[in-house]
Amino acid sequence: MSLSAGSVSTHLRILRWCGFCRLSGSARASLRGSLHALYRAFTLALTSAYLLQECIYSYQVRQDMDKLARVMFLLLCHITSIAKQVVFHIKAERIDEMLGGLDDPLYNQNVEAYARLLHVTAARASRFVRAYSSCAVVTCTLWITFPVMYRLQGQVVEFPFWIHADCNGPKMFTLVLAYSYYVTTLVGIANTTMDAFMATVLNQCKTQLKILRMNFECLPQRAAEITKMSSEQSYDATLKQLFKECLVHYEKITETARMLQDIFGTAILIQFGIGGWILCMAAYKIVSLNVLSIEFASMTLFISCILTELFLYCYYGNEVTDESERVTQSLYSMDWRRARLPFRRSLVLVMERAKRPLRPTAGRIIPLSLDTYVTVNTCLPSSVRVHFNQQQ
């Protein structure tokens, strides 16, 4: 596996383990691939059934705002997770095509400085997805302590989803608790991993744009070195060939960013549309909690995960745009004065094209930028900020 494709290898392994992403091409034709396809169908049915149970429960408690707030932020999270899960099912071929593009030789150029940069990008992506999904596991683990504590205290336990059975008996309570923990943890791990996967693809586009800029800046020097080592081609022909390779590289980066937007644009738009609502429901819940309680700690972790989820898209989308805007500067920074007039004309045309930077968006509507993140962040009610200030 190439370094570029290796940046998402951990993400794919986790998603396949969760049943959200299909196996690679060679494994799909085997018995293991058939069993994994059944597992993926079971996972989708299970998460959909759990979402339906939450919808029924939220309708039943619609008159009780505290109970409604308790279920709504989880229900909304599951909606965004299933939206992304369905995309991994429906657009599996397109996702494989996008991942196959990461193995392109232009994405894995045999230059020590570039290989080091790609290795750092892959290592950071792997560390981050492990930490991020672990945070989701910790949050879900803290949630199951509440029903256990209530039961030990002799209180009646009410789970935040519809159950057509009495769960106060020891066996039924254990089964329902295990069922709730399994589904919420599965969704938490997969949802955070899917977000990290899309953010990593954006980060890979940013890294490739950085490599492209470095290639543009040293283009004449590279052409001169190749001409010295081999007299088969003239300097102008070598310069033209290297320039063409850079343009193809630029087009492939643009294609990867465009494919990511086409595949996941609607799901990301749903994420942003519901994300503010989730924050508001979680904020409504947290203001009534004791700051020293376990429930407050779990809710704080949950809000942190949601904010991180939105920040990932905005930060890496902003990084891609910034790096893309610097391409024009890198083109002008090369030593183009010694080049012939035809090359200069080509350079001007490419600089005009580079003036339209890559701008990743959610559903072609919401720009993925830090300005968008600041705007979304304001959905936290002022009462929450006041509450945090009082507690501090």
Predicted confidence at residue 385, as pLDDT, reads: 46
Which percentage of the chain shows pLDDT scores above 70? 95
CA distances from 272 to 76, 179, 195, 309 (A): 11, 29, 12, 10
- What is the per-residue pLDDT for 390? 46
What does the pLDDT look like over 254-274, one tens digit per residue? 999 999 999 999 999 998 888
* pTM of this structure: 0.90
Residues of the chain with pLDDT under 50: 383-392
Task: Please report the pLDDT score of residue 380 as a whole number.
Answer: 56
pLDDT at 383: 43
**What pLDDT shows up at residue 54?**
93
142-155 pLDDT, tens digit each: 888 888 888 888 88
How many domains are contained in the chain? 1
pLDDT for res 387: 43
Q: Could you list the residue range(s) of the whole structural domain that residue 28 is in?
A: 3-391
Please give the Cα distance from 340 to 223 (Å, whole number): 13
